[in-house]
Amino acid sequence: MNPGLFSLQGKVALVTGANTGLGQGIAVGLAQAGADIVAVGRSAPDETAEMVRKAGRELHAIRADLGSTGPLAGVVEEAFAAAGQVDILVNNAGVIRRADSLDFTEEDWDAVMDTNLKTVFFLSQAVARRWVAAGRGGKIINVVSMLSFQGGIRVPSYTASKSGLAGLTKLLCNEWAGKGINVNAIAPGYFATNNTEALRADEGRSREILGRIPAGRWGDPSDLAGAAVFLASGASDYMHGAIVPVDGGWLAR
């Protein structure tokens, strides 16, 4: 097998939410495979930038709140202008709100759906329009969830958004595969990030979760790097609409 299949040398990846957690793990993994990074988020990705530069690649940071579609046109314009091109889009930025469904508020519903689903679609649309106009393809990687397959508890808008994003991955595959655009998704299991801090702090819940994971541990953001590099590289050119679980075996139980 040609190891160059997995090389991202000369590529540029736009990664949302790359300042911490899963987005950082993905961005650093892509950089280690040869890609320069455009990192989009609400805060400066200083730590990620340092890790990317240690991998020998460049990072351009764009400050934007992806809780609405307002900044998207400017984000795409700056990304292409700064990097010269974008070859890979990783839709990772997301938020979560926890409350019993009997008490869940419309404000929390909208905040999650807007960030996790609406903005993802319109950012993907904006980037894909550039690719189609240029007569070239690209790679889109959506970050979904175990709750794209399961219901979960006390996270109704998160479950709805990630289930919707799994469906959107397949819809965009159907429309764009023939245009040379690969749209796939990664479904992380239970990872040690800010989003799971409340779960890990709950001794009983944490014990229940770990008891179901065959690997016996919470995931580390770096565990996503391999799947992300694969879906971003030429090795996955015939993969369209796939959802790849990276879950320590959670779904196998």
Going by C-alpha positions, the residue among 197, 174, 194, 199 that lies closest to residue 184 is: 174
How many angstroms separate the Cα of 215 from the Cα of each of 193, 207, 250?
17, 14, 8
- State the distance between the two ends of the chain, measured CA to CA, in whole angstroms: 33
How many angstroms separate the Cα of 84 from the Cα of each of 9, 76, 216?
15, 11, 43
* 238 in active site: no
Cβ-contact 24, 39 below 8 angstroms:
no
| Catalytic one of 131, 158, 176, 190 | 158
Task: Give me 234's structure tokens.
Answer: 């030429």
The set of catalytic residues is: 158
